[in-house]
Structures are given as C-alpha cells and as structure tokens.
C-alpha cells in the first residue's frame, strides 16, 4: 500500500473549499448555510470517531465486536432514515432495522465465505467497510420504497378497494402499489450499475486504486460490490414492504392511517 498521505495542512486546504460555498449560499440567499455547517460539523466529528475506533476494532478483530458494530450501524441507518423522512414513519423503526439487518448479515457472510473466500469470515477490515457500503445504499432505497408504497396506498385507496371487490386477496390487491414501490426504489441502483465506469469511477474502485491496488482487482471488487448492493437492496426492500403490509392493515383489509400519525 502506498497511499499518499494527507497532512493536517492538506486537510485545512481541503476544508477551505467550503469557504466560497458558504459565501455563495449566503450571497444568493439560498438559505441552507446553517444546515450545511451543521452537516460538515457532524461529518468531521463522526468520521473522526470512526477513524479512532476503527483502529481499535481492526486491532482487536473480534467477531462478536464486529457483529455488534454492524448491528449498531444498521440501527443508526434506520433511525436517521426514518427521522429524515418527510413521512411519519416512527412506527416502523424496528421493522426497518430488521429488514436491513437480515439481508446485510446474510450477504456479508456470503461475500466473505464464497466471494473473497476468507478463512475468517468476520474479518473486521472487510466485514465493516462492506457493511457500510451496503447500508448506505439500502438506507435510501428502503425509505423510498416505504414512502412510495404508503403514498400509493393512500392516494389510490379506491383502486385498492375496487380490486378487493374483484376478488383480490390483500396481497393481490396491493400488487400494483408494491410493484411501483419496488421499481421506484430500485431504479437508482439499476441506473448506477448500468452506467458504472462510463460516467464515474465508483467508490470502492477509486478507494482501492488510490490505496495502490491493481486496477483489475479493484474492478473485480467493484463488480462484486455492485452485485451485493443490488441483492441486499432488493431483499431488504421486499422484507420492508412485507413487514409494512403486515403492520398496517386492519381486519377489514383497510389501511390503518394511524400508523403514519405517531
């Protein structure tokens, strides 16, 4: 590994780029400077912490700690996704955690067992970054899926009732909304996959190349990462919607609007 160092003065130089940004936002009255600075501050603190504890986690490399760490990542991913959503989704925190955790763990183990074929499948320096990679994507797509699904169910209640009257089971009558939700949520992932390498060099690859890896290995990792992101994303969305359907319909097969009011 021969990654060029970034010194403190380098960091400062980089952060200086934010000065004109703040200036422009202020002078054009775009009104998000407070949000922006808060986000920068959070990023610095959070990533600073990550740097510190990842050093220890990698040193310890204890399977139990690694799994707990992934669990916490999932929890915070779910929490932030739900808090930042414009829809009230608080009732879905735990189902979201579960919908993200199960596919993530499965894919991680599969990745390390059959793709990288590691002897220690919980090896921290693969297990944790790959988990983070997947969660970053799932987070967005799960919330999009939930929001699309609920907005469809609410705006198209009459369609749903009409289909029930035509003999549909709850699941059959929800099919059009289910399809719309999955398609909307998965569209960006498919688009990213289709344009990978054309428009941009994706993250994993860039990281590895900067880190001094052979480009062909970097590409192989990138391809694998895209596939597992797709797999985990879809599995997670399906679970998420499956839980939501179980949670939100009353004995008359009607949508329980109070679920979105808590």
Partner 1 sequence: MIRFKNVSLTLGNKQLLDHFNLTISDGEKVVISAPSGAGKSSLLKLLLGFFEAEKGKITFNGLEVKPENMRQIRCQIGYLSQGIDFPNGKVEDVFNEIFQYTVNKNISFSRDILLEKVRELKLSDDILKTNTVNISGGERQRLGWILLMLLDRPILLLDEPTSALDDEMKRYFVDYIKQTDKTVICSSHDSEWQTAPMRIIKNLRS
Which residues of this chain interact with partner 1, rule CB under 8 A?
A: 156, 158-159, 161-169, 172, 175-176, 251-254
CB atoms within 10 A of CB 72: 10
Give least dist CB 167 to partner 1, A.
Answer: 4
Identity of the residue, 65 or 159, whose beta carbon is nearer to partner 1 in the bound complex: 159
Give least dist CB 250 to partner 1, A.
Answer: 8
Q: Phi first, then psi: what are they for 251, rounded to 5°? A: -70, -15
Identity of the residue, 87 or 159, whose beta carbon is nearer to partner 1 in the bound complex: 159
Whole-angstrom CA distances from 184 to 16, 122, 178, 190, 237 are 37, 33, 10, 10, 11
Identity of the residue, 159 or 196, whose beta carbon is nearer to partner 1 in the bound complex: 159
Identity of the residue, 168 or 201, whose beta carbon is nearer to partner 1 in the bound complex: 168
Residue among 5, 134, 142, 123 at smallest CA distance from 66: 123
Residue among 201, 180, 189, 184 at smallest CA distance from 232: 189
Do the beta carbons of residue 184 and residue 258 sit within 8 Å? no
Give least dist CB 213 to partner 1, A.
Answer: 47
Identity of the residue, 161 or 192, whose beta carbon is nearer to partner 1 in the bound complex: 161
Token pair, residue 120, equals 């220690």
Give least dist CB 156 to partner 1, A.
Answer: 7
Chain position carrying tokens 């399977």: 63
With a CB cutoff of 8 Å and minimum separation 6, the contacts of 176 are 152, 156, 159, 163
- Report helix, strand or coil for 85: coil
Give least dist CB 157 to partner 1, A.
Answer: 9
Chain position carrying tokens 């970053």: 136
Identity of the residue, 51 or 166, whose beta carbon is nearer to partner 1 in the bound complex: 166
Give least dist CB 151 to partner 1, A.
Answer: 14
């Amino acid at each position: 590994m021969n990654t060029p160092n970034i010194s403190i003065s380098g960091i400062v130089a980089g952060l200086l780029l934010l000065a004109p940004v703040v200036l422009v936002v202020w002078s054009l009255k775009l009104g998000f400077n407070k949000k922006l600075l808060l986000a920068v501050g959070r990023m610095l603190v959070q990533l600073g912490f990550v740097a510190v504890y990842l050093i220890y986690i990698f040193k310890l490399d204890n399977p139990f700690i690694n799994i707990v760490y992934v669990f916490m990542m999932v929890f915070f991913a779910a929490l932030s996704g739900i808090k930042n959503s414009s829809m009230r989704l608080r009732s879905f925190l735990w189902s979201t955690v579960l919908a993200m955790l199960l596919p993530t763990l499965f894919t991680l183990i599969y990745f390390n067992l059959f793709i990288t074929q590691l002897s220690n499948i919980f090896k921290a320096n693969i297990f944790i970054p790959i988990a983070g990679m997947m969660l970053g994507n799932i987070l967005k797509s799960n919330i999009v899926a939930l929001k699309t699904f609920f907005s469809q169910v609410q705006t198209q209640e009459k369609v749903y009732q009409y289909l029930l009257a035509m003999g549909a089971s709850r699941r059959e009558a929800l099919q059009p909304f289910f399809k719309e939700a999955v398609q909307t949520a998965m569209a960006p992932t498919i688009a990213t996959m289709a344009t990978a390498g054309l428009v941009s060099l994706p993250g994993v690859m860039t990281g590895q190349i900067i880190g001094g890896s052979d480009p062909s290995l970097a590409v192989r990792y990138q391809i694998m990462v895209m596939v597992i992101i797709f797999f985990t994303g879809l599995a997670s969305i399906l679970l998420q919607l499956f839980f939501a359907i179980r949670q939100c319909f009353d004995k008359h097969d009607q949508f329980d609007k109070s679920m979105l009011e808590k």
